[in-house]
Structure 1
C-alpha cells in the first residue's frame, strides 16, 4: 500500500470512529470522548501551526530550523510524543542545568549531573545552604522546573547530597523532606516588569495574597517572602549594603546572596522563593491556596 493510500485509509478510520461517538448510549461517556478528541485535535493543530511558522522563518538554514523547533515547548512535546525529538536526553538535561546554574550560584550553590540511567536523572546539589531545609528545597524546586521545561520525558529525578564530612558545602538529602509539603503546594507563574528594578533596589509585590520581596544585586535577581524572620515586619524599606539587607525596624541583617542567612542570629533566615529567568521572561514559584 502506498503512503497516500495508507493516509487515506487512516483518515477513513478516524471518520468512522468519530461517527461512532454520536451513537454511544451513555451520554456522559459520549460527551467526555468527544471533548477528548477535540482537545487532542486542537493541541496538534496549534503545534503544527507553530511548527510551520518556525520552519518558514528559518527555511534558509534547515539545521537551525530543526533546533529551533526543538526549543518550542509545544512542538517539542509533540516530537517527544512520537519519539522524534532531534536532541538527545543528556544534552537537554545539560541545557536545563545550565539555565538554572546562574540562580543556584547567586545563592552560593551549584549542581552536578551524576548520571542518567533509563530516564532517571541523578544530581548532586552543592551550596552554602547547609542546614537550611527551606533554602535547599528552593534550589531543588528551581532545578526540577528547569528540567521539566527542557526534558519533560525524564522519568524520575533524584537529588543527592550525602557526601563525606570533608565537603561540608553539600546539602544533606534528608533536609529536603521537612520542606517537601510546603513545596508541593506551590506553582510557577510569570512575573512581568522586574527588568526595571535597578541594581541595589528593593521592592515588594502582592501576589496571591502574599507579599513578595524582590531585590537586584549586580546582575542577580532575588525573591523572598517579605517579612523579617526576627520581628516579622516588612523589609520593603530595608537598607541594602552590598549583599546585606537590614530590617528597617529591628536592624537584623540578612545575606541575600546566601539564601537569606541571618548574620546576627544563625538560627534565623529569610524564606527564599524559587526564581527562573530565560528567554527574557521571569518565573517565580508561589504558594497558592487550593
Structure 2
C-alpha cells in the first residue's frame, strides 16, 4: 500500500478546493455580471501568479524534479493546470488504468486502453476503452467498475472530455456506449457518486472483516490478501445485515442465513444473488469508498 499523506483530512480539504472556488464564483453572479467578472479575474490573477512561481521551481530543479512532484496527486493536479506535468495524456491515462486494475481484477474484469482521439477543439480528447471479464454479467459490478475507471481517468487527465466504452475486439457484438449512459442509474434521482476517505481500512489484516458507517451508510469491508473489498451491509438472501460475517477462502458467509458469497468476484452468490460492491480505491494514499449521494450534498 502506498504511503499515506501526513494529514489525510487536510489533503481531502484541498482536493475539494476547486468545487469551493466555483461555488464562491457562482455566488458572485448574484451581485451582477460586473461582480462576477471581477471575481473571475481575481481567480485568474492568483492562479497565474502561483503558476509562474511553480514554473520557476520546476525549471530551477534537477531533471527529475517534475517527475517526483508528479507522484503527489495534489501537486500533479497543479502541474497539469499550468502545463508543467512531465507525462503526456496517453501515459497518464495508462498509469491511471494500471492503478485500478487490481480493483477490476477483484471483480473478474480488466480494461484495455484502445486509443485516445484528439478532438476538434484545443485540449479536447476522447478516451476509448474496452472492458473484459466476467464482471460484465453483473450489472451492479459493471457500474462500480465504470465509476472507478472514470474517476481515475478524469483525475489523471482532466483534458479528457469524453470516455467511450466499446466491446472487446474478440466479441461479436460491436458498438459504442457513452460512459454517461452506463452511469445513468448511478446519477438518477438526483444522485451522483462522492468519494469518502476511510483510513481505518488500511489497518485491516488479511482475512479480517469489519463494519463501517460512512456518510450514514453501513458498509462491510474485508481484506483478501492485500486487496480490501467493500460491500453494502446487506444480505440479498435473508434481507438482513452482514454484521458478524466471516471470511474463509475468499468466501464471505452471512452469519444469519449461512449463504456464501464470492468476495473477489463482485460478491456473487447462489442462484444469481450477489452483494452490492462499492469502489474502494486509494486516493492520495488513503483508502476511499464511493457512495451515491444527492446532487449538491458535497461541500
2:192·2:292 contact (CA, 8 Å) conserved in 1? yes
Give me the whole-angstrom Cα distance separating, in 2, the residues matched to 1:47 and 1:275.
Answer: 33
1:208·1:288 contact (CA, 8 Å) conserved in 2? no
Give me the whole-angstrom Cα distance separating, in 2, the residues matched to 1:274 and 1:249.
Answer: 25
Distance 1:77 1:240, change over 3 A: closer
> Matched residue of 1:194: which SS?
helix
Cα deviation 1:254-276 (Å, max 9, x = unaligned): 101000101x222x111110121
Mapping of residues 208-287 of structure 1, within 5 Å: 208-262=215-269, 264-266=270-272, 268-287=273-292
Deviation at 1:97, TM superposition (A): 0.8
Where does residue 120 of structure 1 map in the other structure? 126
Give me the whole-angstrom Cα distance separating, in 2, the residues matched to 1:63 and 1:175.
Answer: 38
Where does residue 106 of structure 1 map in the other structure? 106
Deviation at 1:189, TM superposition (A): 2.5
2:234·2:241 contact (CA, 8 Å) conserved in 1? yes
Q: How many residues align?
A: 255
Deviation at 1:248, TM superposition (A): 0.8
> Matched residue of 2:206: which SS?
coil
Where does residue 26 of structure 2 map in the other structure? none
Distance 1:200 1:52, change over 3 A: farther
Cα deviation 1:96-121 (Å, max 9, x = unaligned): 11111111112221111111111111
Q: TM-score, normalised by structure 1?
A: 0.76
Give the structure with higher Rg (CA).
1
Aligned: 1:64 with 2:70: no
Q: TM-score, normalised by structure 2?
A: 0.74
Give me the whole-angstrom Cα distance separating, in 1, the residues matched to 2:180 and 2:38.
Answer: 43
Where does residue 5 of structure 1 map in the other structure? none
Deviation at 1:77, TM superposition (A): 4.3
Q: For structure 1, which runs of at least 5 residues remain unmatched after alignment?
A: 1-25
With a CA cutoff of 8 Å and minimum separation of 6, indicate the structure with the bigger relative contact order: 2
Q: For structure 2, which runs of at least 5 residues remain unmatched after alignment?
A: 1-29, 119-124
Aligned: 1:143 with 2:149: yes
Give me the whole-angstrom Cα distance separating, in 2, the residues matched to 1:225 and 1:54.
Answer: 44
Distance 1:91 1:165, change over 3 A: closer
